[in-house]
Structure 1
Amino acid sequence: MNNESFIERIKMYVRDVAIEDVILNLNKPPGRKPRQRHVIQSQWFNNLCSNDQNILKEIIQEAIDEAIFGFLATLDGVRIIEDNDEQKGEFKLTYTLGDKKERLNDPDKEYLHDIYNSLTNPE
Structure 2
Amino acid sequence: MRNTEFVESIKKYVRDTALSDTIEFIENLPGRKPRKRHVELSNWYNSLSGEDKQKIGEIMAEAVDSSLFGFLCVLDGARTIEKSDKKTTFELYAVKGGGSTRVNSEEEQPLHDIYNALTNSVDQ
1:85-104 matched pairs, under 5 angstroms: 86-104=85-103
Q: Aligned equivalents of 1:4 and 1:89: distance in 2?
A: 24
Matched, 1:117 2:110: no
Structure 2: runs of 5 or more not aligned: none
1:47-62 matched pairs, under 5 angstroms: 47-62=47-62
The percent identity for this pair of structures is 47
What code does the residue aligned with 1:23 have?
I
Return the offset for 1:99. 2.4
Q: Aligned equivalents of 1:100 and 1:36: distance in 2?
A: 48
User: What is the aligned-residue RMSD (CA, Å)?
Assistant: 0.9
What code does the residue aligned with 2:21 have?
D
Return the offset for 1:30. 2.1
Return the offset for 1:57. 0.6
Q: Aligned equivalents of 2:31 and 2:61: distance in 1?
A: 24
Q: Corresponding residue for 2:41?
A: 41
**Which moves more between the two structures, 1-10 or 93-102?**
93-102
What code does the residue aligned with 1:77 have?
G
Return the offset for 1:83. 1.4
Q: Deviations over 1:50-77 (max 9, x none)?
A: 1111110100011001000000000001
TM-score of the superposed pair, with normalisation by structure 2: 0.94
Matched, 1:69 2:62: no
Which consecutive segments of 4 or more residues in structure 1 shift more than 4 A?
A: none
SS of the counterpart of 1:87? coil
Q: Aligned equivalents of 2:90 and 2:33: distance in 1?
A: 41
Q: Aligned equivalents of 2:14 and 2:57: distance in 1?
A: 16
